[in-house]
Structure 1
Amino acid sequence: MSISLLLEMASSGDPDRTAVVSGDVRWTANELSEFADRAAGVIAASGAQHVAYVGTGGAMLPLLLFSSARASVPVTPLNYRLSADGLRELIDRLPTPLVIADAEYADVVTGAGNQVLSSDEFIEKARTAEPAVEFADPDTVAVVLFTSGTTSRPKAVELTHNNLTSYITGTVEFGSAAPDDAALICVPPYHIAGVSAALSNLYAGRKMVYLTNFDAREWIRLVRDEGVTSATVVPTMLDRIVAVLEAESAALPTLRSLAYGGSKVALPLVRKALSLLPDVGFVNAYGLTETSSTIAVLTPDDHREALAAADEKVARRLGSVGRPVPTVEVQIRAEDGSVLGPGEPGELFVRGEQVSGKYTDIGSVLDDDGWFPTKDVAYLDEDGYLFIGGRSDDTIIRGGENIAPAEIEDVLVEHPHVRDCAVVGADDPQWGQIIVAVVVPAEGSCPDVEDLRGFVRGQLRGSRTPDKVVFRDELPTNATGKVLRRELVSELNAS
């Protein structure tokens, strides 16, 4: 199934429903469909084999997703925060690309690709272009997304039409949204969450409201003014929203669902958000680019039960990513490939139609039975709840012992003088690596190093006690809230 059909169904089912709100742009489902047909004509006439987009998204993202699909050409939203050299390096890896860039990035990409158009030029051409409507082969590539490349050269993940539509149709009921439902989207267009939000909300029949440059107060204003009922945020956004809600006692009467993900969220922040918004259903969504978005969900009921639970086993689920979605299978494997049982940590493998596991220039990394190695350390509890322990390559090897940073972080962040933290391994001539806790103090506090070390030692084995504690005003993160651990390691090794 081509992603074009998702828009076809949406525009046929309720053509006059407002589908996209982005600044001054307000498009109905039918207007988006007709515009996508004409924009597909611009792409087809360019002779491009690929579309690259550099910009903050908004209405441009759904327009390019569907117009590229109707021109049977893959599209790649690129990280507009990259340097000019970084962007050009990625563009050069795409075959005969048509590069479309928002005005503020047009100069950065001048001369790149087969042809360069500003977003405004592309939209003007689309107003008068001859429509082109083609339903791509479901097994062809619809979207290519580059991984963050924080530890190595970015990989180009290929997602087919079938990967994406399998995820949407397997997790979303067509036209299920109420007439007044509206989703606020503020995740970046080059992240899989941005792509899946455009597809899933359109398919559900939900108005999509875009906030292209995140600001917590503007986010709150849009929730109120547009009657937003659902939203998705990354941890840093949630932290800033909570800070404003706490300081200003702001009410969000229409908001019914708030999903968070992209990276791990500290439990004290989750608990605070739940207390500030008791009528909102919180959702923790876990997924990867290679899996076309979400593969596990901690539901609103899961959140409420875990928060109120006296049973430690149930309460612990608040730190999980929930249970796998019905269309995905998961396994936890040991280093020898054997499948592990409940409570046994190992590498997470996933399988399903939404799982791509294919990279440009590398090919598929699926095993013979279709399983994808996520490189995430994880375990399942007895009730099937999935707990993520971080990336396997973040494991600290101290004196020959493997130590998962998340195990220490989960304890340390509960200290009343700690707002946030990251635990990494720094080079050491005696131990190979030592455990370093990088701590962001709680506002107004001055944590004592030995007190923090003792706090960890009191709850974990002595070998998990940080050898060193350093303080920072904030942790370095990417746009989706993932801590840039390699940046911390480089700084520590250089000091």
Structure 2
Amino acid sequence: MNIALLLEMAAEAAPDRVGLVCDGKRWTYGELLSAARGAFELIVESDAQYVALLDESSEAALIAVFGAALAGVPYCPLNYRLPDADLAALLGRIAPALVIGDEERVIRVAGDQGHTIMAREEFAQKVQEIVPGEDTRETDAGEGVAIQLFTSGTTAAPKAAILRHSNLLGYILGTVEFASADEDDAALVVVPPYHIAGISALLSSIYAQRKIVMLPSFTPEAWLALVAEERITNAFVVPTMLARIVDAIERGTPAQVSSLRAVAYGGGKMPLEVIHKALELFPTSGFTNAYGLTETSSTVALLGPDEHRAALASDDPKVRARLTSVGKPIPTVELEIRGEDGQVLPVGEAGEIYVRGDQVSGEYKEKSALDAEGWFPTRDAGYMDEEGYLFLSGRADDVIVRGGENMSPGEIEDVLLTHPAIADACACAVPSIEWGEAVGVAVVTREGHEQPDEDELKELIRGRLRSSRVPERIAFVAELPYNEMGKLLRRKVKDVLAA
């Protein structure tokens, strides 16, 4: 099977239903399939080995992903926020490609690499003008590469993560019911097109036959306006987006959100204060925390709407603590917590998260990361409680090793965030002559509060955790560094603490 089948099924079942809204233009499912077939013709004519997108979310992203699938070449959306040198290096790794988007920039940084380059407007126009020929393609059995996404490369050169048609279909067919959306259902997509969450949002909404509404550039005001105008029923946000939406509502931005039945979030750690406020401000919305990775074709664990509301209402500390978890593994995925020796750890003990399932690729163009039994080491650290809820402790590489004792940055951060004057916190390892590594923390003071005393913060941690967790260095900063998906950039915090 090929992921193009998702669009073909939707267009055959409801060709006149609106499938996409972007910049005011509406596309039916029939029009989207016709455009994807036009893109197929363009791709074949160009002799491209990849289809790349260097642009914000638009109709070009949806048409390109299915056009590439029809043509049997990988779709490779690129991070348009990268510096020129980094972008040129990635473009060189996929040459020759059909590159859609920022024509001037691609010519400037990679004009000699043999790419076929089209502006978004030109691409969208041409795919509508082409009359597709007879479809004689042979659809592969699902082992071909559908998507290639470059990792963020925060600690090394970006790796090319490979997702095959079989991986993506394993996720969609296992989690989404075909044509399950009502005609009035609408999903607001604001995640960048080069992130797996953006791609999975397109595929799952197409298969459910839900209208996709794209917001190319996020602001909380624009997001709230689209929710009201298009009667949005489903949305996905990253934690920093939800924090800004909550702040905008509290500042008086109009918010007509009664249509919003489901809000999923993920991509980074959600501050407890933000989700508490969101649950109060969106009383009729069901919130879902979705945990997943590029290499797993998106979500592998979920904390669902009922669990959010139950945790918020409960007086039981264990139940309330579930708001800081990412829920339970989805039925189509196996998940284990393993120690350094590779052995499965008991309930409550932290280690590295391993996952296995049809949707799990664990594959890079450079090599496969799967073990002999198909398990993928996520490099995320975490533990499971006795009820099967998964709690993340950060990246496995982020663990602080002080005198041979492993410490989770997350447990230190959670304690710091209980202080009324602390708005955000990051704990990480700093060099120590005595211990090898010690705890360093960077904290952001909440607006309207005085900066707390360092000794006060140390006593807070000493009183809640062991004395070994008390930070050796504390830095007060205006804000912590996050990427566009809301992931905390600890390496940059380490640089601040080292200075």
TM-score range, shorter-chain basis? over 0.9
The percent of aligned pairs where both chains have the same amino acid is: 50
1:136 and 1:25 mapped to 2: Cα distance? 33
1:245 and 1:256 mapped to 2: Cα distance? 18
Aligned to 1:123: 124
Does the CA contact (< 8 Å) of 1:177 and 1:206 recur in 2?
yes
User: Structure 1: which amino acid aligns with 2:157?
Assistant: R
Q: What does 1:98-117 correspond to in 2, within 5 Å?
A: 98-102=98-102, 105-111=105-111, 112-117=113-118
2:329 and 2:349 mapped to 1: Cα distance? 17
Post-superposition shift, 1:206? Answer: 0.9
Per-residue CA deviation, residues 63-84 of structure 1 (Å, 9 max, x unaligned), is 1110110111111000000011
2:259 and 2:103 mapped to 1: Cα distance? 34
Post-superposition shift, 1:321? Answer: 0.4
Does the CA contact (< 8 Å) of 1:268 and 1:414 recur in 2?
no
2:177 and 2:418 mapped to 1: Cα distance? 38
1:434 and 1:259 mapped to 2: Cα distance? 36
**Does 2:460 correspond to 1:455?**
yes
Post-superposition shift, 1:95? Answer: 4.6
Could you tell which deviates more after superposition, 123-132 or 238-247? 123-132
Structure 2: runs of 5+ lacking an equivalent: none
Q: 2:478 aligns with which of 455, 473, 477?
A: 473
Does the CA contact (< 8 Å) of 2:442 and 2:497 recur in 1?
no
4+ residue runs over 6 A deviation: none
Aligned to 1:346: 351
1:283 and 1:172 mapped to 2: Cα distance? 15
Per-residue CA deviation, residues 364-416 of structure 1 (Å, 9 max, x unaligned), is 11111110011111111111111111101011122332211011111111211
- SS of the aligned residue for 1:355 comes to coil
Q: 1:256 aligns with which of 258, 261, 268?
A: 261
1:140 and 1:333 mapped to 2: Cα distance? 31
- SS of the aligned residue for 1:290 comes to helix
Q: What does 1:87-236 correspond to in 2, within 5 Å?
A: 87-102=87-102, 105-111=105-111, 112-131=113-132, 133=135, 134=137, 135-236=139-240
User: Structure 2: which amino acid aligns with 1:295?
Assistant: V
Give the TM-score taking structure 2 as reference length. 0.96
Report the CA distance shift for 1:104/1:261 in structure 2 as closer, same or farther (over 3 A). Answer: farther
Number of aligned residues: 493
1:439 and 1:73 mapped to 2: Cα distance? 46
Give the TM-score taking structure 1 as reference length. 0.97
- RMSD (CA atoms): 1.5
Per-residue CA deviation, residues 268-298 of structure 1 (Å, 9 max, x unaligned), is 1111111111211110000000000000000
Report the CA distance shift for 1:108/1:230 in structure 2 as closer, same or farther (over 3 A). Answer: farther
User: Structure 2: which amino acid aligns with 1:268?
Assistant: E
1:113 and 1:288 mapped to 2: Cα distance? 32
Post-superposition shift, 1:103? Answer: 5.4
Per-residue CA deviation, residues 290-329 of structure 1 (Å, 9 max, x unaligned), is 0000000000001011111122221111111001111000
User: Structure 2: which amino acid aligns with 1:446?
Assistant: E
Q: 1:368 aligns with which of 362, 365, 372?
A: 372
Q: 1:333 aligns with which of 320, 333, 338?
A: 338
1:467 and 1:294 mapped to 2: Cα distance? 37
Post-superposition shift, 1:212? Answer: 1.1
Report the CA distance shift for 1:318/1:190 in structure 2 as closer, same or farther (over 3 A). Answer: same
1:357 and 1:198 mapped to 2: Cα distance? 21
Could you tell which deviates more after superposition, 42-51 or 309-318? 309-318
Aligned to 2:5: 5
Aligned to 2:250: 246
Post-superposition shift, 1:358? Answer: 0.6
2:114 and 2:395 mapped to 1: Cα distance? 34
Aligned to 2:389: 385
Post-superposition shift, 1:117? Answer: 1.8
2:289 and 2:330 mapped to 1: Cα distance? 12
1:130 and 1:29 mapped to 2: Cα distance? 17
Post-superposition shift, 1:106? Answer: 4.6
Does the CA contact (< 8 Å) of 2:442 and 2:476 recur in 1?
yes
Post-superposition shift, 1:130? Answer: 4.5
- SS of the aligned residue for 1:217 comes to helix
Does the CA contact (< 8 Å) of 2:409 and 2:426 recur in 1?
yes
